[in-house]
Amino acid sequence: MTSFAENSFGEDEKSSSGILLAEGQLDTRHGPILYLENVSVSFDGFKALNELSLYIDAGELRCLIGPNGAGKTTLMDVITGKTRPDTGSVFFGQTIDLLKMDEPAIAQAGICRKFQKPSVFDALTVFENLELALKADKRTWPTLFNRLNGEQRDRINQIIETIGLGAHHQLRAGILSHGQKQWLEIGMLLMQEPKVMLVDEPIAGMTHQEIERTAELLLSLQGQHSIVVVEHDMEFVRSIASKVTVLHEGSVLTEGTMDEVQNDPRVIQVYLGG
């Protein structure tokens, strides 16, 4: 069974095009860490993404905004391998072709995702949730005999502190508040030491303080990780984003700082419907 896992994983690597560096290592010498070019996706007739092209630079914190149905979530699905685009190419760095990989492979390559509605494992404790996320050999047998060593333990506890759940680390995730779940999930992302974090509506259902702390958290992360945040709350976006991309009807409408974007007539047109 395990051997199969290795093979299939190996295949993903080999098949990804051109000269390939050692596992996980990716080539961002040209700046961007994510390349999406002319990506189109359609669900029986309805074009969710339409010839969309987007570049995320290494270490940047990018915000995606746009009205409902603009294709934000679909975009994330494409990047994380949940949805296969009809056309277009998606590259991770120069070399790694994400379209040739499946979700686990992509995740292990270092692209992690937080879902719109917080999805944590209710049956498990906060600690266990993070433990599962921990970057480690994730094949079956190693997992079976896996024992946490000291530093991993520390790492988990440290993250628990970062996401402010220190008091609750033995509680089952199921009984956490909505906001706490959001954080836990962010924490799970961090556990995986990702290169790219895709964060879908992180502050939904959060109190003011919580929102501020989330903002701080995200800001503190930029630099070490490339982060893509999808959010409706303009205030929040303004508070964190240096660069904003507006999606509309499945393609990029405009890009720029919050102010540029907000003064762009097309954007106003889109949001206020003229």
Partner 1 sequence: MKLTGLGHDKTATMVLVALAAVTFIIPFCNLALPADSPMHFSAYTVSLLGKYLTFALLGLSLDLVWGYCGILALGHGAFFALGGYAMGMYLMRQIGTRGVYGDPLLPDFMVFLNWKELPWYWLGFDHFWFALLMVVLVPGVLAFVFGWLAFRSRVTGVYLSIITQALTYALLLAFFRNEMGFGGNNGLTDFKELLGFNIQSEAVRAMLLMMSGITLMTAFLVCRWLVNTKLGRVVTAIRDQESRVRFLGYRVEMFKLWIFVFAAMLAGVAGALYVPQVGIINPSEFSPLNSLEIVIWVAMGGRGTLYGAIIGAVLVNYSKTVLTGLMPEIWLFSLGAVFVIVTVLLPDGIVGLLRRRLQEQHS
Which residues contact partner 1 by CB under 8 A?
Answer: 1-2, 4-5, 8, 80, 82, 103-104, 107-108, 112-113, 115, 119-125, 128, 131-133, 138-140, 143-146, 172, 188, 192
Give min distance, CB of 246 to partner 1, in A: 26
Give min distance, CB of 182 to partner 1, in A: 14
Q: Among residues 21 and 123, whose Cβ is nearest to partner 1?
A: 123
Distance CA 241, CA 63 (A): 6
Q: Among residues 106 and 215, whose Cβ is nearest to partner 1?
A: 106
Q: Among residues 129 and 251, whose Cβ is nearest to partner 1?
A: 129
Give min distance, CB of 105 to partner 1, in A: 8
Q: Among residues 108 and 214, whose Cβ is nearest to partner 1?
A: 108
Q: Among residues 204 and 234, whose Cβ is nearest to partner 1?
A: 204
Give min distance, CB of 199 to partner 1, in A: 13
Give min distance, CB of 42 to partner 1, in A: 21
Q: Which residue(s) pair with 199 in the sheet?
A: 114, 229
Give min distance, CB of 48 to partner 1, in A: 18
Q: Among residues 122 and 161, whose Cβ is nearest to partner 1?
A: 122
